[in-house]
Amino acid sequence: MNWKQLSIAPRRRGDIPALSLTRSGRINWNIGLHEALGHPTHVRLFYDGQRFGMQSCPPEATDACRVGRNQEQNSWYANARTALREVGILPKESSFRRRAEKDEESGIWFITLA
């Protein structure tokens, strides 16, 4: 049997880009994703039927969502209840959190919904 030594280096949960959708229509993300997005003040939202994503954009961009900061949890958010409801991805019973991945072709950071 080949043994593999495990790393015990400290790792903060916030270092791994993650995004969550809440029942209230708030999109929350951690510092890892915020840094990966380039510390945006505004984001655009995307949906392809299986994945929900976002990308930083200038404030004057079409459909730009303003980014807010939750100081207590060191996280960021955008409110998008109407948009999430219109495409049928507003969580009905509980919020959920997923690790975010980057689509290299489009530059969109996304989570898989299924």
User: Could you read off the pLDDT of 34-87 as tens digits, one per residue?
Assistant: 999 999 999 999 999 999 999 999 999 999 999 999 988 889 999 999 999 999
For residue 7, being part of any structural domain is answered with no
For residue 48, being part of any structural domain is answered with yes
* pTM for the whole structure: 0.84
- Structural contact between residues 55 and 108, judged by C-beta atoms closer than 8 angstroms: yes
For residue 23, being part of any structural domain is answered with yes
For residue 29, being part of any structural domain is answered with yes
For residue 6, being part of any structural domain is answered with no
How is residue 88 written in tokens?
Answer: 């049928």
Q: What's the domain count of the chain? A: 1
Write out the residue range of the structural domain in which residue 48 sits.
14-112
